[in-house]
Amino acid sequence: MVACLPGLSIIPLAQYSGARAYPVVSVGDTVREGMIVARGQGRGSANIHATVPGRVVRTVSWKGYGSVNDALVIRLEGSFEKLGKKEEIFPWEGLTCFELQRIISEYGIVEMEGSGYPVSDMISSIRNSPEPCTLVVSCVFDDPWLAADRLLCQERIGAVAEGALVMSRAGRINRVVFALSRGERDLGEALMAASGGWDIPASLMLAGSHYPQRNRRELELVLRRYAKKESIELGSLLVLGPATLAAVHDAVKLKKPILDRYVAVGGSAVKMPQVMKVRVGTRIGEVFAECGGFVNKPKRIATGSPLQGRPVADLDEPVTRISYAVFAMLENRMARGRAQKCISCGECRAVCPVGLDPEELYKQTLRGLSGAASSRVSARAGTVYASPAGDRGVPASGGCHGCGCCDVVCPSRLPLSACILGDSGPAGGRA
Ligand code: SF4
Ligand code: SF4
């Protein structure tokens, strides 16, 4: 289903934890659909585009990703240049890697599966590295909240595959591995068929389908085993998902920025959960309204998945380029309540997918010893990622990737992952 176009779009000038973009339009200006409204300022910052034609009517403060930033409010006016028009195809095969990167940068393509980090910066990191690099096309759907990515894969498999080829050329990547959950073999075979005739090797790897298989550390462990079995050299890994690769395709082949995205809308409080195609900048409240509204007042609203999602404080918050899911729950199972003393039950150790001892890491963090201690208790292989951030996807302490499994099982309601990762102090926690 395609959501109605928003009468008012809210376009934040910082759409992830990186640097904000610098606005190039002012209140009162008219903007066209797809026009740059803010320019990225160096590394970590991407261009931002108007997703509807209209007029900038005001700026508002928007709190997200750890800081307060400005957002442009655009009132829908005038006609669309892209929506409903026949798409023009631009041949890209003859372009150099630098030209491809420049286009990807100009159209503000960011990683859409979580981090929002600019893809152009990833390309620079990869191309400047002396190490060979493998692009991992991650279609591991280990979480029902990834329904939007699955639908996009089914509907735009050709664009996803071609986006992978564009990325390979832009980053001078040596190999592509399509990583899919075991239940998605058909999708994997379709991707392999689309890669027939490529001048770089492509292969299919089937991974598990249980959370948190998609997390980069888990994925890398499976990939390293696969590479050993197949006797192939992976080098460093650039892991990208289908939405990002389709956006790379659209930028280079259609000269189109990210104007909309698939969003899974659901949760026990939502009357008609569904996957919708939503214009970036649409208010989250409008998205819920398109799904029939709430059956009852929700106790928890967030974007992302229930385990790692970011709380939504205000229904006027917009859907951004990285909002793959929004949900509203009648119950708040994630409510921390009052933290109690650790009872050493061992539940957190039992569930940690990377074999850490969250109890011990938590206590060491409280004692201010996390650095030395974590290197002793975490013993997994090192990881190379192109993205320095990402839905807490890069290990920050002891190899913890912030999956949140330990938080969920802890009967003492200790803020384990936040404390281990240094996201927040151990408020209320007692070792
Ligand atoms: S689950 Fe919680 S209470 Fe149990 S050992 Fe881990 S930190 Fe302690
Ligand atoms: S959040 Fe907890 S369960 Fe997940 S990797 Fe970190 S310590 Fe392990």
Do residues 265 and 200 share a domain?
no
Cβ atoms of residues 112 and 302 within 8 Å? no
CA angle 406–410–413, rounded 5-degree value: 115
331 versus 239: which is more confidently predicted? Answer: 239
The CATH number of whichever domain residue 154 belongs to comes to: 3.40.50.11540
Do residues 55 and 172 share a domain?
no
Do residues 108 and 231 share a domain?
yes
Do residues 237 and 142 share a domain?
yes
Q: Which residue has the tokens 């229904």?
A: 315
**What is the model's pLDDT at position 425?**
33
Q: Is the peptide bond before 212 cis (omega within 30 degrees of 0)?
A: yes
- Indicate if ligand 2 lies below 6 Å from the C-beta of 156: no
Token representation of residue 5: 């176009």
Show which of 254, 286, 317 is a domain's final residue: 254
- Tell me: pLDDT of 308 over 80: no
Ligand with minimal distance to 412 CA: 1
354 versus 70: which is more confidently predicted? Answer: 70
The structural domain count of the chain equals 3
Cβ atoms of residues 281 and 263 within 8 Å? no
- Residue 377 included in any domain: yes
Instruction: Please give the residue range of the domain that contains residue 392.
Output: 347-421
Q: Ligand 1 center to residue 298 CA distance, Å?
A: 29
Do residues 265 and 389 share a domain?
no
**What is the model's pLDDT at position 65?**
65
**What is the model's pLDDT at position 334?**
57
Do residues 133 and 174 share a domain?
yes
Measuring CA to CA, how many Å separate 299 from each of 32, 273, 312, 315, 415? 38, 17, 11, 13, 20
Q: How would you classify the pairing of strands 36-39 and 22-23? A: antiparallel
| Among 106-110, 175-179, 239-243, 404-408, the least confident range | 404-408
**What is the model's pLDDT at position 397?**
58
The CATH number of whichever domain residue 26 belongs to comes to: 3.10.20.600
Q: For 166-225, how does the pLDDT look when each residue is reduced to its tens digit (9 = 90+)?
A: 999 999 999 999 999 888 889 999 999 999 989 999 999 988 767 767 777 778 888 989
Show which of 222, 254, 286 is a domain's final residue: 254
Residue whose CA is at the smallest distance from ligand 2 atom 5: 400
Ligand with minimal distance to 351 CA: 2
* Nearest to 31, CA basis, from 2, 3, 11, 4: 11
Q: For 311-348, how does the pLDDT look when each residue is reduced to its tens digit (9 = 90+)?
A: 888 899 999 999 999 999 887 665 556 788 888 888 88
Do residues 122 and 243 share a domain?
yes
Q: Where are the beta strands (DSSP E) in 255-343?
A: 260-266, 274-279, 300-303, 310-311, 325-329
Q: Ligand 1 center to residue 261 CA distance, Å?
A: 39
Atom of ligand 2 nearest to the CA of 401: 5
Do residues 134 and 60 share a domain?
no
Do residues 114 and 242 share a domain?
yes
- Tell me: pLDDT of 370 over 70: no
Residue whose CA is at the smallest distance from ligand 2 atom 4: 403
Do residues 170 and 123 share a domain?
yes
- Indicate if ligand 1 lies below 6 Å from the C-beta of 78: no
Q: For 44-59, how does the pLDDT look when each residue is reduced to its tens digit (9 = 90+)?
A: 899 999 999 999 999 9
Token representation of residue 109: 């393509």
Residue from 336, 340, 343, 366 to probe ligand 1 pocket by mutation (most atoms less than 8 Å from CB):
343
Show which of 200, 233, 254 is a domain's final residue: 254
